[in-house]
């Protein structure tokens, strides 16, 4: 049996898992003090820890594999495709204003926030319930995406199928997450962030020294990917893409569309336990720059994998025609194979060739020659290089046995930290907004925590069931963001900015969006992303407007309390006039600074992510220009954002 790891690698991986489980057991007592401690850490976790934890929670394995695939295909411009989500530009909006607006509510979950905004009438209750259900559905989809990525990745190293690999990893992550709650999530995320940063420096250094100059890299990148503009950081209207990714050839159109989608999704973002659990409003703000800074480390890691992947593909698969031949050989033996089942089939052929036709195995060996099993792992269903397999290929061909275990642990850590955050947050919604609110209002603390354990198990099971209907990680990510996410984010976008928007409108609109997104996934799974977005968000918006005007406005006392405590901008004229002149002027100045700071934060974040990539690929002139833009934007961030932060830093008070 082929084995890509040795005893040292397995020892490192086992020690890593033992440390995580040990932290879970150690922090269990602190987490179980009460339900607020379990889900928010009792408002005692410092802002810098929450920021670092945020970086880990956004750096998942499946997403990293997906972004590396785009960087491999088109170079640094792959960043612009990830404006849809992977570039985490929602953090710029949270940094500018949505984080502090959510913090001011003093609630525990985004669903509980609905009562703060819409009141305790049936509209507010309905909005709270639907909000919790929507988050649960989205998390199931996100877990499926995570499970798919974990399985694809680990099955290249371990003698198990993608399903079994996912089961092992998710089982361990579930255990320590259930034991330690929010505090455990934060501190295990910090531990995992340190491991990830070690891997960043190692992979970045290998990629930097792989090519002497940018021209050598450009020549090889063109040979491997067919993209003449691989080194460019500028957005072109059109770029070449391989089979299976042709939809992204009109790059500028997608960037414009993704940016519009980003605005829709970001204007209501911020219902995150990290903001609700902050010790003060100032700290709720300071979480974001730390979060953004540490997110920067993701990009040199990913461009490093892409650069090394180009060298590997050029070395072991110089003739790309054999990829299509190999795929056709397999399809001839398995004519009913689908894209969803392709990774499972490859894993079986690679690790258990004795269970397959000798004619099939001999044909593959004859075509692929040496390391035929490793090469086979890189072949996509379409018969091209599978860009989603670049990271495993780099680890196999560039990382020596003995060190592979450490790099694998770093990649695994990225998934574990994403999983624990998603599960802890979603369990909080279920316990606070469904179980405690409607099923067992007088449940004891012990009962609530044990119920959260059972709910976590249910979430994981449903995520697994969905995962193995997925064709690729890009496929599920596109649906999560453009389909299911569009219905939810359209309703969330309006909650701050329109006084007439009520709980009934939120609930019915979100429900309509969820149903349409699920039906679209079942009946029209091949809809392109922009059509998914327009279809789902358009129907949601129509349902929101009709329902809002057919039902009564939110109670005036509720709206007045919301406006006076949150102080949002937007269509709030009936309540803005209630403020005295000094208070209104102060609020308008805050709004002005918030809005002006946003473009500076967005540019600073994008240039911060671009600069380390440009360094690694040796495009120094472009790096210099990017650095100048970064410095100018940073000055704007300081002037309009940082110096206007509240100075008080008192501990959280109810």
Higher pLDDT, 59 or 436: 436
pLDDT digits (tens, 9 = 90+) for 199-249: 899 999 999 999 989 999 999 999 888 888 899 998 888 887 777 677 777
- Measured between alpha carbons, how far is 141 from 310 in angstroms, rounded to an integer? 31
The pair of three-digit structure tokens given for residue 645, joined into one six-digit string: 């932060």
What was the pLDDT predicted at 177?
65
Is 99 a residue whose pLDDT tops 90? yes
In which band, very low, low, confident or very high, does the pLDDT at 1 lie, cut at 50, 70 and 90?
A: very low
Confidence of residue 397 (pLDDT cuts 50, 70, 90): confident
Residue 137 contacts residue 143 (beta carbons within 8 Å): no
Output phi, psi for 385, to 5 deg.
Answer: -65, 125
Please give the DSSP secondary-structure letter assigned to residue 247.
Answer: G
The C-alpha atoms of residue 509 and residue 542 are separated, in whole angstroms, by: 8
Report the b/e string of 21-50 with b at 16+ CB within 10 A.
bebbeebbebbbeebbbbbbbbbebebebb
Most confident range (mean pLDDT) of 12-21, 128-137, 175-184, 594-603 is 594-603
Once rounded to an integer, what is the mean pLDDT over residues 431-436? 85
DSSP at 280: S
pLDDT at residue 503 is higher than 70: yes
Please give the class, per CATH, of domain 7-313+402-644: mainly alpha
* 630 pLDDT higher than 80: yes
Residue 43, pLDDT above cutoff 70 = no
C-beta of residue 323 within 8 angstroms of C-beta of residue 364: no
**What is the C-alpha separation between 97 and 497, in angstroms, rounded?**
12
Q: What does residue 571 show for φ and ψ, rounded to 5 degrees?
A: -90, 80
pLDDT tens by residue, 457-472: 888 888 877 776 665 5
For residues 98 and 495, the answer to whether their CB atoms sit within 8 Å is no
Q: What is the mean pLDDT of residues 622-638?
A: 97
Determine if residue 248 is left, alpha or beta; phi over 0 gives left, psi from -120 to 50 gives alpha, anything else beta.
alpha
Does 96 score more than 50 pLDDT?
yes
Confidence of residue 35 (pLDDT cuts 50, 70, 90): low
Q: In terms of C-beta distances under 8 Å and separation of at least 24 residues, what long-range contacts does 5-11 make, across chains too?
A: 5/157, 5/158, 5/401, 5/404, 5/405, 5/408, 6/401, 6/402, 8/401, 8/402, 8/405, 9/401, 9/402, 9/404, 9/405, 9/408, 10/405, 11/405
Q: Where are the domains of the chain?
A: 7-313+402-644, 318-384
What average pLDDT does the segment 311-328 reach? Answer: 85
pLDDT at residue 615, rounded to an integer: 96
Per-residue pLDDT at 477 exceeds 60: no
Please give the residue that has the higher pLDDT: either 355 or 593: 593
Separation CA 309–CA 303 (nearest Å): 9
Across residues 141-158, what is the average pLDDT?
Answer: 74
Taking residues 493-498, what's their average pLDDT? Answer: 90
Judge contact between 577 and 589, C-beta under 8 A: no
In degrees and rounded to multiples of 5, residue 32 shows phi and psi of -95, 10
* pLDDT grade for 585, boundaries at 50, 70 and 90: very high
Q: Taking residues 475-483, what's their average pLDDT?
A: 56
**Greater model confidence, 403 or 358:** 358
CB burial string 432-458: b at 16+ within 10 A, e below: bbbbbbeeeeebeeeebbebbeebbee
DSSP assignment of 521-576 equals HHH-TT--HHHHHHHHHHHHHHHHHHHHHHSPPPPHHHHHHHHHHH---SB-HHHH
| CA 541 – CA 510 distance, rounded (Å) | 9
- SS3 of 431-448: the string is HHHHHHHHHCCCCCHHHH
Q: What is the pLDDT of residue 562?
A: 94
pLDDT of residue 184: 64
Give the pLDDT of residue 648: 65
From the number of C-beta atoms within 10 Å of its C-beta (0-12, 13-18, 19+), residue 538 rates as middle
Interatomic CA distance for residues 169 and 147, integer angstroms? 9
Task: pLDDT band for 449, please (50, 70, 90 cuts).
Answer: confident
What three-state secondary structure class fits 241? coil
Q: How many CB atoms lie within 10 A of CB 366?
A: 10
Q: Computed from CA positions of residues 475, 480, 486, 489, in that sequence, does the dihedral angle turn out positive or negative?
A: negative
Mean pLDDT calculated for residue range 536-549: 90
pLDDT(159) > 50: yes
Spatial distance between the Cα atoms of 223 and 313, rounded to a whole number of angstroms: 10
pLDDT category of residue 623 using cuts at 50, 70 and 90: very high
Q: Nearest CA to 616 among 297, 195, 324?
A: 297
Nearest Cα residue to 513 out of 543, 493, 492: 543
Which comes out higher in pLDDT, residue 541 or 418?
A: 541
Taking the CB of residue 120, how many other CB atoms lie within 10 A of it?
13
Average pLDDT, the chain: 83
Which residue in the block uniquely carries the two structure tokens 């670092």? Answer: 52
Model confidence at 652: pLDDT above 50: no
Phi and psi torsions of 630, nearest 5°: -60, -45
139-165: average pLDDT: 75
pLDDT at 363 over 80: yes
- Distance between CA atoms of residues 475 and 536, nearest Å: 17
pLDDT higher than threshold 60 for residue 651 = no
Q: Which of 124-133, 239-248, 373-382 has the lowest mean pLDDT?
A: 239-248
CA geometry: angle 518, 149, 303, nearest 5 deg: 120
Alpha carbon distance 377, 566 (integer Å): 53
Tell me, what's the pLDDT at 654? 43
Return left, alpha or beta for 107; rule: phi > 0 is left, psi -120 to 50 is alpha, else beta. beta
Q: How far apart are alpha carbons 107 and 273 in whole angstroms?
A: 10
Specify the higher pLDDT residue, 128 or 562: 562
Q: Is the pLDDT higher at 616 or at 344?
A: 616
Average the pLDDT over 486-494 and give the result: 78
Q: Are 312 and 398 in contact (CB under 8 A)?
A: yes
Angstrom distance (rounded) from CA 27 to CA 185: 10
Average pLDDT over residues 367-386: 83
Question: How is residue 653 annotated by DSSP?
Answer: -
Comparing 40-44, 73-77, 187-191, 270-274, the range with the smallest average pLDDT is 40-44
According to the model, what pLDDT value does residue 437 have?
Answer: 82
**Average pLDDT score over residue span 273-300:** 91
In the chain, count of helices (H) and strands (E)? 31, 0
Q: Which of 561, 428, 430, 498 is nearest to 104 (CA)?
A: 561
> What is the pLDDT confidence band of residue 296, given thresholds at 50, 70 and 90?
very high
Q: Is pTM, for the whole model, over 0.85?
A: no
User: Could you tell me how many residues make up the chain?
Assistant: 654
More confident residue, 390 or 351: 390
What one-character DSSP code corresponds to residue 42?
Answer: G
């Amino acid at each position: 049996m082929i084995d890509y790891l040795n005893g040292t690698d397995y020892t490192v991986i086992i020690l890593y898992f033992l440390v995580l489980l040990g932290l879970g057991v150690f922090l269990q007592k602190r987490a179980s003090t009460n339900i607020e401690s379990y889900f928010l850490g009792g408002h005692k976790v410092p802002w810098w820890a929450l920021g670092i934890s945020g970086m880990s929670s956004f750096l998942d394995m499946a997403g990293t594999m997906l972004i590396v695939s785009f960087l491999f295909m088109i170079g640094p411009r792959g960043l612009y495709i990830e404006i849809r989500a992977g570039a985490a530009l929602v953090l710029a909006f949270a940094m500018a204003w949505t984080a502090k607006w959510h913090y001011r509510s003093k609630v525990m979950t985004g669903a509980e926030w609905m009562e703060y905004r819409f009141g305790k009438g049936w509209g507010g209750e309905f909005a709270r319930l639907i909000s919790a259900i929507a988050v649960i559905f989205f998390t199931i989809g996100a877990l499926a995406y995570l499970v798919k990525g974990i399985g694809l990745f680990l099955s290249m190293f371990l003698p198990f199928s993608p399903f079994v690999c996912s089961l092992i990893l998710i089982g361990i992550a579930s255990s320590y997450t259930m034991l330690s709650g929010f505090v455990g999530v934060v501190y295990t995320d910090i531990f995992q962030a340190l491991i990830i940063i070690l891997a960043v420096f190692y992979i970045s250094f290998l990629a930097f020294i792989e090519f002497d100059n940018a021209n050598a890299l450009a020549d090889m990148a063109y040979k491997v990917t067919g993209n003449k503009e691989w080194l460019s950081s500028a957005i072109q209207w059109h770029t070449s893409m391989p089979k299976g990714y042709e939809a992204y050839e009109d790059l500028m159109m997608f960037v414009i569309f993704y940016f519009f989608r980003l605005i829709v999704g970001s204007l209501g973002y911020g219902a995150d336990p990290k903001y609700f659990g902050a010790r003060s409003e100032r700290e709720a703000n300071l979480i974001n720059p730390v979060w953004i800074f540490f997110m920067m480390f993701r990009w040199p890691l990913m461009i490093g994998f892409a650069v090394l992947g180009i060298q590997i593909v050029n070395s072991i698969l110089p003739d790309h025609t054999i990829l299509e031949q190999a795929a056709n050989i397999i399809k001839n033996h398995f004519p009913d194979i689908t894209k969803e089942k392709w990774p499972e089939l490859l894993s079986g052929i690679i690790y258990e060739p004795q269970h397959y036709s000798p004619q099939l195995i001999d044909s593959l060996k004859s075509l692929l020659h040496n390391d035929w099993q490793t090469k086979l792992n890189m072949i996509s269903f379409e018969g091209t290089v599978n860009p989603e397999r670049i990271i495993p290929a780099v680890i196999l061909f560039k990382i020596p046995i003995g060190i592979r275990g450490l790099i694998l642990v770093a990649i695994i850590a990225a998934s574990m930290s994403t999983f624990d955050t998603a599960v802890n947050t979603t369990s909080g919604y279920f316990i606070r907004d469904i179980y405690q609110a409607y099923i067992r209002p007088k449940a004891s603390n012990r009962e609530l925590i044990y119920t959260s354990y059972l709910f976590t198990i249910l979430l994981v099971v449903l995520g697994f069931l969905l995962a193995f209907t997925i064709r690729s990680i890009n496929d599920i990510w596109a649906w999560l963001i453009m389909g299911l996410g569009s219905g939810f984010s359209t309703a969330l976008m309006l909650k701050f900015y329109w006084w007439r928007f009520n709980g009934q409108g939120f609930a019915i609109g979100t429900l309509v969006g969820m149903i349409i997104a699920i039906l679209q996934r079942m009946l029209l799974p091949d809809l392109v992303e922009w059509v998914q977005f327009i279809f789902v968000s358009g129907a949601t918006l129509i349902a929101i407007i009709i329902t809002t005007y057919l039902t009564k406005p939110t109670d005036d006392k509720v709206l007045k309390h919301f406006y006076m405590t949150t102080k949002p901008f937007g269509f709030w004229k009936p309540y803005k006039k209630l403020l005295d002149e000094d208070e209104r002027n102060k609020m308008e100045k805050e709004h002005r600074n918030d809005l002006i700071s946003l473009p500076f934060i967005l540019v600073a974040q994008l240039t911060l992510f671009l600069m380390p990539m440009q360094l690694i690929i040796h495009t120094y002139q472009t790096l210099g220009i990017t650095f100048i833009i970064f410095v100018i934007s940073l000055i704007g961030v300081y002037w309009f954002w940082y110096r206007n932060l509240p100075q008080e830093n008192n501990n959280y008070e109810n």
